[in-house]
């Protein structure tokens, strides 16, 4: 989505991503078989790359000094959400059934869409002329030590976090099996 937002703008990419996410979420609620449900769950994942677009919006709208702090807050929310998500989802499931998590996501997605529609203005002041133009800049990016430092730091920290989550889920499963 970063590539698309560089070409077509941040706002339309975020709005389309949210619209697809909400539509897929309603698809999960309405699914009558596992294939449809899983297809809708995979389509929901279109929202994940908007994280990078949100970071681009911050970079576009703030100074370098202020951007670091704002990006830190976004990263903190991104890291905390997977910790609370299963608890909130489990609580909703226990109280209202498994559909409740998807209703919650749909309502939340609609609220974020409405907020972005009304408040987010286009921040990409210099969109690229073509996507091919962007690909021509990749060799310079791939040679950048700063890029690799940030990319590897993010990859290892997120990878370690999800490895921990996977280990916790496996331990929980093994605990249930042994009981």
Higher-confidence residue of 150 and 29: namely: 29
Same domain as 117, residue 33: yes
pLDDT at 30 over 90: yes
**17 shares its domain with 40:** yes
Residue of higher predicted confidence among 144 and 150 = 144
Closest CA to 19 of 55, 44, 54, 38: 44
Query: What pLDDT, on a 0 to 100 scale, did the predictor assign at position 156?
Result: 86
Would you tell me how many other CB atoms lie within 10 Å of the CB of residue 44? 20
Residues 99 and 142 occupy one common structural domain: no
Mean pLDDT of the chain: 88
CATH of the domain at 63: 1.20.1250.20
Q: Domain ends where: 127, 146, 162?
A: 127
Residue 76 has a pLDDT of 83
Q: Domain for residue 132, yes or no?
A: no
pLDDT of 102 > 90? The answer is: yes
Domain that holds residue 91: 2-127
Do 122 and 148 lie in one domain? The reply is no
- Asked whether residue 60 falls in the same domain as residue 108, the answer is yes
pLDDT of 177 above 90: no
Rounded to the nearest angstrom, the gap between the alpha carbon of residue 7 and the centroid of all alpha carbons in its chain is 20
Number of domains in the chain: 2
Is the same domain home to 34 and 93?
A: yes
Q: What contacts 100, CB < 8 A, 6 or more positions away? A: 92, 93
Look at residue 162 in the predicted model and tell me its pLDDT.
Answer: 78
8, 90: one domain:
yes
Residues 39 and 109 both lie in one domain: yes
pLDDT of residue 6: 85
User: Does a structural domain hold residue 175?
Assistant: yes
Q: 31-82 pLDDT, tens per residue?
A: 999 999 999 999 999 888 888 898 889 989 998 888 888 888 888 887 788 7
């Amino acid at each position: 989505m970063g590539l698309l937002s560089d070409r077509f703008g941040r706002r339309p990419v975020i709005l389309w991503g949210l619209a697809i996410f909400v539509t897929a979420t309603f698809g999960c609620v309405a699914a009558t078989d596992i294939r449809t449900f899983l297809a809708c769950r995979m389509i929901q994942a279109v929202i994940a790359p908007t994280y990078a677009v949100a970071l681009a919006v911050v970079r576009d709208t703030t100074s370098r000094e202020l951007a670091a702090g704002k990006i830190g807050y976004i990263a903190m929310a991104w890291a905390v959400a997977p910790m609370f998500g299963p608890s909130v989802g489990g609580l909703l499931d226990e109280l209202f059934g498994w559909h409740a998590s998807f209703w919650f996501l749909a309502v939340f997605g609609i609220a974020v869409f409405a907020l972005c529609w009304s408040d987010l203005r286009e921040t990409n002041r210099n969109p690229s002329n073509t996507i091919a133009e962007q690909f021509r800049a990749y060799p310079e990016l791939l040679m950048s030590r700063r890029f690799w430092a940030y990319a590897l730091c993010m990859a290892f920290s997120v990878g370690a976090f999800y490895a921990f989550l996977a280990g916790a889920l496996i331990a929980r499963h093994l605990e249930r099996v042994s009981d």
